[in-house]
Amino acid sequence: MTAKKILLDCDPGLDDALAILLAHGDHALELIAITTVGGNVDLANTTRNALQLREYLGLEHIPVAAGAAAPLVRPAISAAEVHGDEGLGNVVLPAARLEASVTPAVDLIVETLRASPGEIHLVATGPLTNIALALHQDPAIIDLVASFTIMGGSFTRGNATPAAEFNILADPEAAAVVFAAGWQTVMVGLDLTNQAIATHEIVERMALLGRLGNDLVVPLSTFWKDDPTGQAVHDVVAVAFVARPDLFQSRLAHVEVETTGTFTSGMTVVDFDAAVPNAIVPVALDVEGFWDYVLESYARIRL
């Protein structure tokens, strides 16, 4: 079976780092490029984290390109209180020897999709600024992706505000552009990702991964608790959807992004009864199957 090629646009970030690990560990996936955006922490930190993870995993052949440092029109926000000042909690990785690509992230996204039409699964796990800018540069990319999946939004409540999930709130204008672009967005939102909790039992299984578990997976999965039972691994779920859609129950919907509300800016308004859907919204997760898949994939990583 041919591996699915993934271009991951991200803002590492605890769960972004765990998502990179999954894209590398699952042999049914081929991670072909990483682009970074300011989000969980600033762009300098998200890019440094991506570069360090690349070398830690021995993936020096994969380009890492830095993208937007700030949202399209509003000031940047941060989730450093969740991810730690530098983005990876208490994890300290060796300094990267190699620098980021000289090609900016937006150019890399557009050029990669143009070079392999219909072959690349584009996955975005941070604010959608880079994706909106890529659409502005070349609107035709909507027809070039094999699929487009985001971690962001919700159809109930947010986590950054009562109405908004962090990635969408960080750049609602970019998210609005992305959902209106004319492609089908897979919106892996909080209602789904909050089902993927690294409970005490799961963390015990992570600890069996040896050096990878002790140095990276466990500390990344336990630095912050979204839930009394453990930390949700939000971005991992978006990558998992590309590889294993059979683990999800999903519904078609039309999604619009609120950009002007005083209390609702960044809200994803999800209409499951819309006549013209623009999104696939996963609503339920096979939790046991998900964790079996993720941990089996991590166990294949050789350091």
Of the candidates 24, 83, 234, 254, the residue annotated as catalytic is 234
Is the dihedral angle over the CA atoms 138, 140, 144, 147 positive or is it negative? positive
**250: containing domain:** 4-299
Question: Average pLDDT of each block of 10 consecutive residues along the chain (303 residues)?
Answer: 94 98 98 98 98 97 98 97 96 97 98 98 98 98 98 97 98 98 98 97 97 97 88 98 98 98 96 98 98 98 91
Of the candidates 190, 294, 284, 192, the one whose C-alpha atom is nearest the C-alpha of residue 236 is 294
pLDDT value of residue 76:
97
Residue with tokens 């089902």: 195
C-beta of residue 94 within 8 angstroms of C-beta of residue 48 = no
**How much is the pTM?**
0.97
Residue with tokens 């991992």: 236
pLDDT value of residue 228:
86
* CATH classification at residue 40: 3.90.245.10
pLDDT value of residue 226:
73
Task: Please give the tally of structural domains in the chain.
Answer: 1
The tokens for 38 are: 């300011």
Q: Say whether 254 is catalytic.
A: no
CA distances from 181 to 5, 40, 140, 273, 290 (A): 22, 25, 10, 20, 30
